[in-house]
Amino acid sequence: METTTKENNSSSTNESSGSESSHTESSSNDTPQGKDEEEPSFVAHKTHLNAGDKAPYFEGKDQDGNTLNSAMFIGKNLILYFYPKDDTETCTKEACNLRDEYKYLSDSNYAVIGVSPDDERSHTKFIAKYNLPFPLLADTDMKIIKAYDVWGTKKFMGRIYDGLLRTTFVIGPDGIIKEVITKVDSANHAQQILGM
């Protein structure tokens, strides 16, 4: 896979169908159920991390309370994807596409981990509802989110607020970031990652 930072403009239709939460500055967990914390039409903040950088160390609890950390994935390609909220429209599209392509990804030496500010209970329900085969980290204190610099200012329909910026990091077997995808094509994300 070519080591680049990707921004796929084809995601615009996938990232604009839902509605934003009405708060000015709060966690994406406040988004009402059924409403999607969508990627806004303009993002003022982007992660400082780039392809070629060493991926920050992370450690967190998954939906079952198991501790996962980045050292456990050395030797594999890791898809570490950050999303705003469980069981919302665009986040579900993204998770289900990765689910549908999971066997191919796994056979190609990829591991998949999702990260959001949701708690373990929310992740458990989300995984059960959509039969997701990969773990989701409950980053309720946002330590991983902040380490990867994916929390920042958004602007949507003239409103500026802070929230999680949907971003995927593809990390190589050596712990070096291979790709940073900030314009996520949620419905075709696995294909986007693989450059298909």
| Active-site entry in 43, 80, 91, 112 | 91
Give whole-number Cα distances, 4 to 7, 78, 138, 145, 194, in Å.
10, 15, 28, 21, 12
* Residue 133: φ, ψ to 5°: -90, 5
Q: Which of 13, 15, 3 is nearest to 167 (CA)?
A: 15
| Torsion 46-146-29-23 (CA) sign | negative
Q: Which of 80, 84, 89, 86 is nearest to 111 (CA)?
A: 80
Beta strands in the chain (DSSP E): 4-6, 42-43, 59-61, 67-69, 77-82, 110-116, 136-138, 151-156, 159-164, 167-171, 177-181
Q: Which of 186, 72, 184, 93 is nearest to 137 (CA)?
A: 72
**Does residue 91 carry a catalytic annotation?**
yes
Instruction: Give the residue numbers marked as catalytic.
Output: 91
